[in-house]
């Protein structure tokens, strides 16, 4: 049994790509997209027609609607391949606007429903800012399920659990990147690999806390840099993995054991935590890594959304 098949025994495997032609080979349950992945995909010749067709049909509509229709078009193509859910992201430029995020999410669901897709097969991705989490709380109350992304800290995870969001995506690789860059020459890769990887440690802490206190929100590790980070989180509810790393897992027959277990988490001595807005903002501010990576991630997604706007205008 290769490592990909072994991982599927413990964890729901999710494809992290907008390139749906690559998905079928790995038979993922779910799939995630984001503005950067869609931007990358539409610049490939095989996906150019989706961009052109979308603009041709909806050129008279707002640029925001054209973008959402393009995202939904990719989502529908992906859902024709996978049996589960697709995550589609609200424009990152709305990350600090609760009302606008709710409205845009509702629009995305309406577009999916117009294509015959039930809302249960869609997760709306929202940045895990305080405003994004507040929007997700409202959406969940209205039956629209959410995936809180750009999640780097324990306080973000706790607030998402309080909001009863469907799923969170803690970013393993970007946490790893920050600590490695900050350590500089003092970084010893072998000492910070596997269970000692700071990104892996962050996801494990969140997973154990959720399971200890019966929080139903699903934990989906994301943003991986190497296979070791993935195998160190075997047993996590879900892991979203790029096609390149999915191929690496499929090519390896090295042993893979479960490292995260909900039953074992029950025995841990953990304290329950709650955050109001002021406490959340202070806790996030105290975490330099999370503060920097959240801001950096939103800036990058905003830039790619703007580039996607330009591609739509250029058609």
Backbone φ and ψ for 207, nearest 5 degrees, come out as -55, -50
* Three-class DSSP category at 271: coil
* Three-class DSSP category at 227: helix
* Unique residue bearing structure tokens 């490592």: 3
Q: Which residues fall within 8 angstroms of residue 86, CB to CB, at 6 or more apart?
A: 30, 31, 32, 33, 75, 78, 79, 121, 122, 123
CA angle, 291 as apex, 271 and 91 as ends, to 5°? 110
Q: What is the DSSP letter of 171?
A: B
Transcribe 26-94 into DSSP letters: G--SEEE--HHHHHHHHTSTTTHHHHHHHHHHHTTS-HHHHHHHHHHHHHHHHHTT-SS-EEEEPPGGG
* Three-class DSSP category at 169: strand
Active site residues: 125
C-alpha–C-alpha distance, residues 246 and 79, integer Å: 19
């Amino acid at each position: 049994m290769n490592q990909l098949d072994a991982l599927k025994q413990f964890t729901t495997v999710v494809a992290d790509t907008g390139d749906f032609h690559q998905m079928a080979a790995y038979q993922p349950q779910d799939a995630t997209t984001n503005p950067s992945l869609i931007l990358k995909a539409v610049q490939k010749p095989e996906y150019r027609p989706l961009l052109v067709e979308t603009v041709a049909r909806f050129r008279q509509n707002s640029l925001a609607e054209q973008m959402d229709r393009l995202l939904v078009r990719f989502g529908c193509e992906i859902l024709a391949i996978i049996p589960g859910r697709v995550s589609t992201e609200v424009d990152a430029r709305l990350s600090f606007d609760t009302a606008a995020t709710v409205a845009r999410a509702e629009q995305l669901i309406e577009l999916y429903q117009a294509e015959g897709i039930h809302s249960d097969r869609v997760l709306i991705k929202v940045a895990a800012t305080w405003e994004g989490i507040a929007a997700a709380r409202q959406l969940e109350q209205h039956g629209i399920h959410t995936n809180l992304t750009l999640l780097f800290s324990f306080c973000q995870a706790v607030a998402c659990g309080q909001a009863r969001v469907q799923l969170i995506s803690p970013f393993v690789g970007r946490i790893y990147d920050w600590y490695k860059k900050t350590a500089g020459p003092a970084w010893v890769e072998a000492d910070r690999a596997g269970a000692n990887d700071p990104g892996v440690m962050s996801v494990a802490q969140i997973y154990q806390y959720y399971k200890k206190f019966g929080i139903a929100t699903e934990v989906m590790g994301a943003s991986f840099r190497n296979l070791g980070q993935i195998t160190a989180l075997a047993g996590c509810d879900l892991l979203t993995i790029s096609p390149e790393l999915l191929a690496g897992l499929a090519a390896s027959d090295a042993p893979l054991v479960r490292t995260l277990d909900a039953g074992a988490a029950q025995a841990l001595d953990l304290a329950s935590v709650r955050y109001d807005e002021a406490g959340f903002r202070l806790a996030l501010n105290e975490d330099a890594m999370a503060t920097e990576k959240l801001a950096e991630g939103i800036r990058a997604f905003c830039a790619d959304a703007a580039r996607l706007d330009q591609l739509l205008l250029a058609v």
